[in-house]
Amino acid sequence: MLEVKDLHVTVEGKEILKGLDLTVNAGEVHAIMGPNGAGKSTLSAVIAGKEGYEVTAGSITFEGEDVLEMEIEERARAGLLLGFQYPVEIPGVKNIYLLKAALNASREARGEGEIPAPEFMKLVKEKLAFMKMDPSFLQRAVNEGFSGGEKKRNEILQMLVLEPRLAMLDEIDSGLDIDAMKIVADGVNSLRSEERAVLMVTHYQRLLDYIVPDKVHVLLDGRIVKSGDKDLAIELESRGYEWVQEESAA
Amino acid sequence: MATEEMERLVRREYTQGFVTDIESDTVPPGLDESVIAFISHKKGEPEWMLEWRLEAYRQWLTMKTPSWAHLDYPPIDYQAISYYSAPKKPEDRPQSLDEVDPKLLETYEKLGIPLHERAALAGVAVDAVFDSVSVTTTFKEKLAEAGVIFCSISEAIRDYPELVKQYLGSVVPQGDNYFAALNSAVFTDGSFVYVPEGVTCPMELSTYFRINAANTGQFERTLIVCDKRAQVSYLEGCTAPQRDENQLHAAVVELVALEDAYIKYSTVQNWYPGDEDGKGGIYNFVTKRADCRGDRSKVSWTQVETGSAITWKYPSCMLRGKDSVGEFYSVAVTNGRQQADTGTKMIHIGENTKSTIVSKGIAAGRSDQAYRGLVKIGPRAKRARNFTQCDSLLIGDRCGAHTFPYQEIGNSTATVEHEATTSKIGEDQLFYCRQRGIAEEDAVNMIVNGFCKDVFQELPMEFAVEAEALLNVTLEGAVG
């Protein structure tokens, strides 16, 4: 589904990713772990198309398409969706309005018409209930005055409505208490299917107790230096990253 | 004034080399007392009106163009302007839409302007574009039933001289400022509204106006009087970009609200802003002021300013009555080379007066805009309150936004709050929306409309929708 090959990325002249390889297949959940500054967030930002990141070498393909040639919105419509670590506030723009515009943009790209209003409301209400969010959320401005936990839940709500092929979650667990984390994890788990994949970036193993990954990768100094299954995450939790570093240097 | 006197005045000027043909429909460029006499005569005005105009003119001669605004434009040659001309003859106008700037037509298309209105707005010579006569008649009948007077200012001067005499210039005196003095001397067009005691005007005074909007004058004069407990909602302007042969526009609007009266005045201004270099755009120097004369009276100004090369405009409220309320909601959008210096004045005179100012400025391209506001609280305005919120949004890095808030507080029981923000349209906001699949241009529109929401919700319903569409068209290509 997603193929990242020998990816080199610089930000403001500094090389952050230094030849990263990653393959994600449909039906899989991947977790990328690593210390601060290793380039975890850079990876998801580059796949999503954020400005300010220069790809100097390598390639990213999604379903065989060259992602780097696609506009930001084209990537999203193709099913590459990013759940933000710090979702921005958009004053005056209601959540429901953003949701509808986003859903219709993707539908139109697929040659489907706009979703009929009753169908849309039914869909959104169902997903809201799943995320244990009050319907009044829909009438509030996007992320404005939301608590950290509300913002993260809102990110997952958008995912549930937009149904991405590949959901990328950037530190989705940061700032969440345990109850909110469970709700968020339930949301992400409900996305799991044979046709979809999830790529999570996280600091802590804690999240992985709730969203159990198929693959765990360690990102160090711009490269994936070790891959394994969920046990690797547990080992990282107890031993830290240094031993991986030493191992990879050896 | 007797006809002989008029002709004498006119002839006197003739000896000084200035030709004014009283039978003609147009005066040559230039301004002097004979031109004013000519206008007054053409309008069939009574003598007091001519005197009033001449007084204004004499004051104007002693005045200087204001230079304090944050605007840059070449000096205007007032002697190069023709102050009276009948509507252009059909043969002088474009003969079909094929002769009109295709960009303008594109804009009409995007705004969803009905086909039959496009020609009229573009100034094309077409006969009977719409059945305005019958529409007007229907409205007039309905208004007459309610006792509301709604007519052109010229008609009002002829048919309701006592009302006009009583109120004209009572809010904006002839010599108030340079442009108001000029307007007082030479105005030829405009509206008059009188809503009698206890009457709520049965319709928005807007539809009528939109039909006639293409013919608004260069020096418009509007006077709206709401008697005790009366209410009216008046809408001026048109979302469609309007072209005009006259570059200088200097309108005056006076509102008078007596006890418990409520006037809601909404404007959508979309004069031609000029080409990409700002050439040919309209200079819009407007004086708008409301007098909340009666206790518990209320005036609400809402404006959406997207057009003109230059905008100089400060709709204001004199809060004289006890417990009177003034509101100002403004969205000003500038793009290309546009310049706008706009804002409001809230003058608190009576006790318990209250004012609210919400100003949203959006600058894109190489445009420049300023918010200029004065909140003045007089010594007798006990417990007066003002809340001001003033936000600017910049799109790109070649535009500018400035805020000039002035406060003069004359007593210690007043409460004045001011909030101001300036933000760049966030790369992060854009990225967020696009990452949800929304096209960049739609994302910009969404963010900007969200920014303006507090003001748009003050507009009459159908206009709010149009205002959003207008904003989107104005900012097209502003990002990227």
pLDDT in tens, B277-326: 667 778 888 999 999 999 999 999 998 888 778 888 899 999 999 999 99
What pLDDT is stored for residue A249 in this prediction?
73
Q: How far A247 CA lies from chain B's nearest CA (Å)? A: 37
pLDDT in tens, A46-56: 999 998 999 99
**CB–CB of B436 and A158 under 8 A?**
yes
pLDDT band at B353 (very low <50, low <70, confident <90, very high): very high
Q: Is the pLDDT of residue B366 over 50?
A: yes
Which of B427, B434, B440, B468 to substitute to test the interface with A, most A CBs within 10 Å? B434
CA-CA distance, B43 to B217, in Å (whole number)? 14
Q: Is the pLDDT of residue B48 over 80?
A: yes
Q: At what angle are helices A95-109 and B427-434 packed, to 10 degrees?
A: 50
Select the residue of B426, B431, B436 nearest A50 (Cβ to Cβ): B431
Q: Is the pLDDT of residue B43 over 50?
A: yes
More confident residue, B185 or B242: B185
More confident residue, B274 or A171: A171
What pLDDT is stored for residue B123 in this prediction?
53
Q: Find the range with the poorest average confidence among B40-44, B100-104, B153-157, B219-223.
A: B100-104
**CB–CB of A105 and B436 under 8 A?**
yes
What pLDDT is stored for residue B2 in this prediction?
43
- Residues B388, B419: contact at Cβ < 8 Å? yes
Q: Is the pLDDT of residue A14 over 60?
A: yes
CA-CA distance, A133 to A158, in Å (whole number)? 12
Q: Where exactly are the structural domains of chain B? A: 3-80, 132-474
CA-CA distance, A146 to B228, in Å (whole number)? 46
Q: How far B112 CA lies from chain A's nearest CA (Å)? A: 20
**CB–CB of B431 and A162 under 8 A?**
no
Select the residue of A51, A73, A90 nearest B450 (Cβ to Cβ): A90
Residues 6+ apart with CB under 8 A from B311: B269, B284, B286, B305, B332, B338, B339, B340, B341, B342
pLDDT band at A153 (very low <50, low <70, confident <90, very high): very high
What pLDDT is stored for residue B436 in this prediction?
96
Both tokens of A43, joined, read 């990876």
Mean pLDDT of all residues in A113-125: 92
CB of B453 within 8 Å of a chain A CB? The answer is: yes
Mean pLDDT of chain B, nearest integer: 80
Q: Is the pLDDT of residue B88 over 60?
A: no
Residues of B in Cβ contact (< 8 Å) with A107: none
**How many Cα atoms occupy the beta-carbon half-sphere of A66 within 13 Å?**
5
Residues of A in Cβ contact (< 8 Å) with B454: 92
Mean pLDDT of all residues in B168-172: 94
More confident residue, B297 or B468: B297
Q: At what angle are helices A178-191 and A117-130 packed, to 10 degrees?
A: 130
CB of A106 within 8 Å of a chain B CB? The answer is: yes
Residues of A in Cβ contact (< 8 Å) with B358: none
The sheet that has A215-220: what strands, in order across it? Answer: A80-83, A166-170, A197-202, A29-33, A215-220, A223-228
pLDDT in tens, B317-345: 999 999 999 999 999 888 888 888 889 99
What pLDDT is stored for residue B118 in this prediction?
61
Mean pLDDT of all residues in B27-38: 86
pLDDT band at B245 (very low <50, low <70, confident <90, very high): low
Catalogue all structural domains in chain A, each as residue range(s) with its CATH number. Answer: 2-249 (3.40.50.300)
* Closest to B425 (Cα-Cα) out of B439, B411, B445, B410: B445
What pLDDT is stored for residue B113 in this prediction?
62
DSSP annotation of A139:
G
More confident residue, A188 or B457: A188
Q: Is the pLDDT of residue B478 over 90?
A: no
More confident residue, B196 or B71: B196
**CB–CB of B431 and A71 under 8 A?**
no
**CB–CB of A88 and B450 under 8 A?**
no
**CB–CB of A102 and B437 under 8 A?**
yes
E strands of B114-164, at which residues?
A: 149-152
Both tokens of B16, joined, read 């000084």
Q: Is the pLDDT of residue A38 over 90?
A: no
Select the residue of A77, A92, A141 nearest B437 (Cβ to Cβ): A77
Mean pLDDT of chain A, nearest integer: 92
